[in-house]
């Protein structure tokens, strides 16, 4: 009896050691599961852990492709292989031991693979590689089977019931890992696709804006394009001035698209469209609970535009009490969210636009002078459409082509009298009004010839020769008084309250030369 005691103790110790090894294996598999989101490194970490507890020569992960109705080897650990079985190889479900385990949702153990004679390619490959026995374990997640884990050796009948039970537990964890990895892969592919779609759409938008920017050959519009080309490569603040509908946002986007920030975000905020009490939160963001109704944290437009460009449209509508904080954000490129003491550093290029006279607002103490100087680093004044009437035919043809698909109306001809009336119209709404008018006119022109709805077009009075003569005399006198100087502080353009380019254009139209002014 005493002789049997050590034997029993040895058996108990062996069982304890095996249990410890099994638990260690499951722990290593679990650690590999939480440390890897991609299948290949995850599988190799698991197969290395399995080999230390269950001796094997071959291990593969075969996932089911529902579209092809086949298995594909997604991962392989076969150090002594001859290369007959490789990753990404596919084989049929029917006629393979992997298919049997997959179909019946239970492990399949084959002690002598040569005697079973499965007809599929997978079995022939294993036999050619010298694999004698193997165990196939389905990867089950609820009612769904993702594939099969295969473990094989070059020796017959090497898988005991204990080994199969252990491998089944490993397969359960592998199934979780595979499901997570496939979900991660889908998210990654979706993210990549969305990124490509975003790039594509931005390219399309950029192409559309580029096309619109080229619509115009007037000296006034060419001057705007030259100013855009000059300031875009810099990081200088830009102030765009112009009436409603002259294309201020169009110019801002053109500046962004030609800058070194073109690959980053272009953020727009219409200051006039946001209630006064919420404008600070829109600009700088707020923390949860910063004020009544602030139930979640919000990132402001300055943070969204980090490394990019921020357009503050209708800057003249920023309340006077908020202007100091805006000035500090521009000067120091830093601010604090509402309800937070933490200072946030940003790198933002600012473009502001307005249809208001900020200098008049300064005189009325409605706008800070120091903020105006910070914004007015590089001003761009957009001419109203009435000062660039020579661009109207080009714009009309562009809008006709643009809306031909949307309104399902093909315009083949634009009568000369129609174009003349369009060129003589007042266009208080500038290019935006012209665009909307052309779209409406196309809907009402079903016969291929653009016609103007009766009574809808406000036409300016025809040129008055007496008024033209008065204007000619006024310009002549101003140029004479300035001794022929057109531009500059003491030039005739300043005296008349005009831009130098505008005065030159008027002189050319009225056939005035410097010789006439002497």
Cα separation, 242 vs 377, in Å, equals 16
| Rounded average pLDDT over 95-119 | 86
Is the model's pLDDT at 71 over the cut of 80?
Answer: yes
Q: Return the DSSP state at 136.
A: E
What is the total residue count of the chain? 518
For 494, what's the count of Cα atoms within 13 Å in the CB-facing half-sphere? 9
Residue 371 and residue 375: Cα distance in Å, rounded?
6
Lowest-confidence region among 39-43, 76-80, 193-197, 269-273:
193-197
Q: What is the pLDDT of residues 138-170, one digit of tens each?
A: 999 888 899 999 999 988 877 888 888 888 888
Q: pLDDT by residue (tens digit) across 274-292?
A: 988 889 989 998 887 777 7
pLDDT at 66: 81
Whole-number percent of the chain with pLDDT over 70: 84
pLDDT score of 445: 83
| Strand, helix or coil for residue 335 | strand
The whole-angstrom separation of Cα 149 and Cα 97 is 11
Lowest mean pLDDT among 10-14, 270-274, 292-296, 397-401: 10-14
Q: Has residue 14 got a pLDDT over 70?
A: no
The predicted structure's pLDDT at residue 318: 93
CA distance 112 to 155: 9
Q: How confident is the model at residue 479 (pLDDT cuts 50, 70, 90)?
A: confident
- pLDDT level of residue 16 (50, 70, 90 thresholds): low
> Mean of the pLDDT values across residues 28-37?
64
Q: What percent of the chain has pLDDT over 90?
A: 29
CA-based max dimension of the chain: 137
Comparing CA positions, the residue from 145, 131, 147, 121 lying closest to residue 62 is: 147
The answer on pLDDT for 490 being more than 50 is yes
Average pLDDT over the chain, rounded to an integer: 82
| Cα distance between residue 351 and residue 378, in whole Å | 10
Does residue 8 carry a pLDDT above 50?
no
Which parts of 275-385 are beta strand (E)?
285-286, 298-299, 309-313, 334-336, 343-345, 349-354, 378-381
State the pLDDT confidence band at 236, using cuts at 50, 70 and 90.
very high
Determine the distance from the C-alpha atom of residue 478 to the mean position of all C-alpha atoms in its chain, rounded to a whole number: 53
- Tell me 459's DSSP state: B
Rounded distance between C-alpha atoms, residue 488 and residue 474, angstroms? 19
CB of 409 within 8 A of CB of 446? yes
Examine the pLDDT at 36 and tell me if it is beyond 70: no
Q: Are strands 298-299 and 285-286 parallel, antiparallel or unpaired?
A: antiparallel
Mean pLDDT of 442-467: 70
Highest-confidence segment of 112-121, 127-136, 285-294, 335-344:
127-136
Can you give the pLDDT at residue 22? 66
Lowest-confidence region among 84-88, 206-210, 415-419: 206-210
Report pLDDT for 6.
41
| Residue 376 in tokens | 């007015």
Strand partners, 139: 147
Per-residue pLDDT tens over the stretch 291-347: 777 677 788 899 888 999 999 999 999 999 999 999 999 999 999 888 887 888 999
pLDDT band at 116 (very low <50, low <70, confident <90, very high): confident
The answer to whether residue 9 scores a pLDDT higher than 50 is: no
| Per-residue pLDDT, 510 | 79
Taking the C-alpha atoms of residue 386 and residue 396, their distance in angstroms, rounded to an integer, is 14
Q: What is the pLDDT of residues 430-442, one digit of tens each?
A: 999 999 999 988 8
């Amino acid at each position: 009896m005493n002789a049997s005691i050590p034997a029993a103790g040895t058996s108990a110790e062996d069982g304890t050691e095996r249990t410890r090894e099994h638990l260690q294996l499951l722990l290593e598999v679990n650690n590999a599961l939480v440390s890897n989101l991609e299948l290949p490194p995850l599988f190799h970490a698991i197969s290395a852990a399995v080999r230390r507890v269950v001796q094997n020569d071959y291990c593969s992960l075969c996932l089911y492709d529902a579209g092809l109705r086949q298995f594909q080897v997604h991962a392989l650990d076969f150090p002594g292989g001859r290369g007959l079985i490789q990753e990404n190889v596919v084989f049929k479900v029917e006629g393979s031991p992997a298919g049997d385990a997959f179909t019946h949702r239970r492990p399949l153990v084959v002690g002598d693979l040569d005697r079973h004679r499965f007809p599929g390619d997978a079995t022939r490959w294993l036999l050619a590689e010298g694999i004698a026995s193997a165990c196939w374990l389905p990867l089950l997640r609820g009612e769904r089977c993702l594939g099969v884990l295969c473990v094989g050796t070059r020796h017959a009948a090497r898988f005991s019931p204990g080994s199969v039970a252990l491998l089944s537990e490993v397969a359960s964890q592998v199934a979780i890992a595979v499901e997570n990895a496939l979900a991660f892969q889908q998210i990654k592919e979706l993210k990549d696709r969305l990124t490509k779609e975003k790039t594509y759409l931005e390219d399309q938008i950029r192409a559309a804006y580029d096309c619109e920017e080229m619509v115009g050959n007037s000296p006034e519009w060419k001057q705007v394009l030259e100013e855009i080309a000059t300031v875009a490569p810099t990081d200088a603040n830009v102030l765009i001035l112009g009436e409603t509908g002259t294309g201020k946002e169009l110019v801002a986007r053109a500046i962004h698209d030609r800058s070194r920030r073109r690959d980053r975000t272009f953020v727009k905020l219409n200051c006039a469209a946001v209630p006064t009490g919420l404008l600070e939160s829109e600009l700088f963001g707020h923390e949860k609970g910063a004020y009544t109704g602030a139930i979640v944290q919000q990132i402001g437009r300055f943070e969204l535009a980090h490394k990019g460009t921020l357009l503050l449209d209708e800057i003249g509508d920023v309340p006077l009490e908020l202007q100091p904080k805006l000035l500090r954000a521009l000067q120091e490129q830093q601010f604090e969210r509402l309800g937070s003491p933490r200072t946030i550093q940003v790198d933002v290029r600012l473009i502001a636009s307005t249809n208001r006279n900020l200098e008049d607002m300064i005189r009325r103490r409605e706008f800070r002078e120091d903020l105006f100087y910070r914004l007015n680093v590089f001003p761009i004044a957009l001419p109203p459409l009435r000062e660039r009437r020579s661009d109207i035919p080009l714009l009309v043809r562009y809008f006709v082509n643009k809306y031909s698909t949307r309104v399902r109306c093909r315009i083949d001809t634009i009568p000369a009298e129609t174009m003349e009336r369009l060129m003589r119209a007042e266009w208080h709404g500038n290019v935006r009004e012209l665009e909307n008018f052309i779209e409406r006119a196309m809907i009402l022109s079903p016969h291929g010839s653009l016609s103007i709805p009766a009574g809808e077009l406000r036409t300016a009075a025809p040129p008055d020769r007496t008024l033209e003569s008065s204007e000619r005399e006024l310009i002549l006198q101003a140029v004479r008084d300035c001794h022929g100087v057109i531009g500059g502080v003491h030039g005739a353009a300043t005296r008349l309250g005009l831009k130098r380019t505008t005065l030159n254009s008027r002189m050319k139209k009225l056939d005035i030369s410097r010789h006439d002014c002497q």
